[in-house]
Amino acid sequence: MENDELLKMVEEKAKQWLAPIYDDETRKEVRRMLENSDKTELIDSFYKDLEFGTGGLRGIMGAGTNRMNIYTVGAATQGLSNYLKRNFVDLPEIRVAIGHDCRNNSRLFAESSAGIFAANGIKALLFEDLRPTPEMSFAIREYGCQSGIIITASHNPKEYNGYKAYWDDGSQIVEPHDVNIVKEIKTIRPDQIRFDGPRELITILGEETDLKFIEKVKGVSISPEIVKKYHDLKIIYTPIHGTGVKLVPQALRAFGFTNIISVPEQNVVSGNFPTVISPNPEEPAAMEMAIAKAYEVDADLVMATDPDADRIGVVCKNNHGKYIIINGNQTALLFIYYIITKMKENGTMKGNEFVVKTIVSTELIAEIARRNNVEIFDVYTGFKYIAEVIRDNEGKKRYIGGGEESFGFMPADFVRDKDAVSSCALMAEITAWAKSKGKSLFELLQDIYLEYGFSKEKMKYVVRKGQAGAAEIQQLMERFRNNPPLELGGSPLERVKDYETRIEKNLISGEEKAIDQKTTSNVLQFFTQAGTKISVRPSGTEPKIKFYFEVKGELSSRDGYDAAEAKADELIETMMTELGLSES
């Protein structure tokens, strides 16, 4: 679309937001953008409508069709209401659980949604205050709801907010529901949205739900006797201003841990995240205060959760006495290794167990599962796909854990999304288990590499914001799809998986075969003869294109860990340069 045509389309859309149906503040904001000679903000606010990606609806807060505000949230809620009423027409009452995080406007969006559901005759179960995403997922199943929503932008910067929709099994919506709900939302006019449904259809959820949830979390423990012996581990926990502030310490205490040390400045609940630039436990800067506290008290373990407490960040002391963040792949490895090892020790394996990982996550998870006769499923990025595998195997096979590289893990299926509340408690138990064997958490991780093989993972992303950025990301994907590299890191390319066509091609033999996935996804994977895996995908929730690197290495002793890691880092840097990412 030419710039003049784009601007004309955007201005026409924006002028519709000057109608009396919109509140004064919104109209004032739109008028300001229209009158501004620089049309960049106007275009970014109106050039498209917010769409559901891997994490639902997410965007910068403000006026406009491409922004998070009560009208885009209202349209999403009205569209979801219409869809629920058609899908559950025979039910005497439709129920929806509603939660929210600490972000600015989160309570407003949650209360507005509750009013809209009520206006549609749908029972809204609204949490009294901010709560973790996993607790909302739990509440859907606990209270027999047909759907649920959580108002959160997860780990995004403070300018963002989001809206994640869930189905009756407690998982985020997948096809065909997500596509059909989007269609419904696109038909909604502002005058069809009523925000003032009857209060008697809104029920407030409080401490009674917390207690039920924590009781379930307590059941995740596999080695209560070890926790009892090492209950006084020095555990530092920070919610980074978010929803984990009460329930994560409560979960740790329910497991039996007694020495939980907080970072007081980050216990302050705030959508402005005053102590960090980004409230993301993947970012070293977000962990600085907790790590400083760890050095101060000589902590055994440091953990953090993102604003909606679905992602867990883990810090432990390495063999040089330095506190380091272990990445999401390593966190998942520790969980899967521990769960399988302890279940075998306890004699609780029945032979029908399975674990799930995402396609961009480390292949060592699959190696651990296979060597222990546990079935492994590979799914697209997003826990809704992990939950879908659980749903497909309900009553037939036994889920024992699933995770992804982006700091998410789900240790039990009473929640059907990333669950940092349960994961924090279980990671503390793993640390206690390692200590019972005379090891640190870091040494336990090294031992996993020694037993199952060494690999190193790294993620690189390229940010391209706005309408122009989205086009550039698409062009990058087309370039890699049409002209894949012939060699990476000195090793010839062996296989290419294209999840958009669902075809895997062996470049050596020329053989092609179908990829076993229900749906397509805009993801490419390159595999070299040396065992390197590179995954390329645009983010479903952020203006990014992501590159995931995993390289294999040799490790024969703990003493060789630093050298193996350095060699792997060097290889990854070489491949980044070859792909033109070193300057991005």
Query: What residues act catalytically?
Result: 154
Residues β-bridged to residue 572: none
C-beta atoms surrounding 261 within 10 Å? 18
- 231 in Cβ contact with 424 (< 8 Å): no
Cis peptide before 224 (omega within 30 of 0): no
Of 98, 80, 99, 101, nearest to 153 by C-alpha is 101
d(CA 256, CA 247): 14
What CA–CA distances, in Å, run from 422 to 31, 250, 290, 405, 411? 47, 11, 20, 17, 7
Residues 6+ apart with CB under 8 A from 123: 93, 94, 95, 96, 117, 201, 203
d(CA 72, CA 203): 24
What CA–CA distances, in Å, run from 49 to 52, 65, 185, 187, 465? 10, 5, 10, 12, 15
Which amino acid is residue 118, in one-letter code? A
Backbone angles phi, psi at 523, to 5 degrees: -135, 135
Q: What is the CA radius of gyration of the chain?
A: 24
Q: At what angle do helices 420-436 and 441-452 cross, to 10 degrees?
A: 90
Of 404, 349, 339, nearest to 377 by C-alpha is 404
d(CA 249, CA 261): 9
Helix runs in 120-238, H state only:
133-142, 177-187, 207-218, 224-229
d(CA 179, CA 163): 15
Task: Give the SS3 label for residue 407.
Answer: coil
- 498 in Cβ contact with 543 (< 8 Å): no
d(CA 199, CA 193): 17
Pairing of strands 95-100, 123-127: parallel
Q: What does the DSSP 8-state code read for residue 172?
A: B
d(CA 70, CA 196): 13
- 65 in Cβ contact with 467 (< 8 Å): no
Tokens 């994961």 belong to: 423
Task: Give the SS3 label for residue 553.
Answer: strand
d(CA 228, CA 226): 5
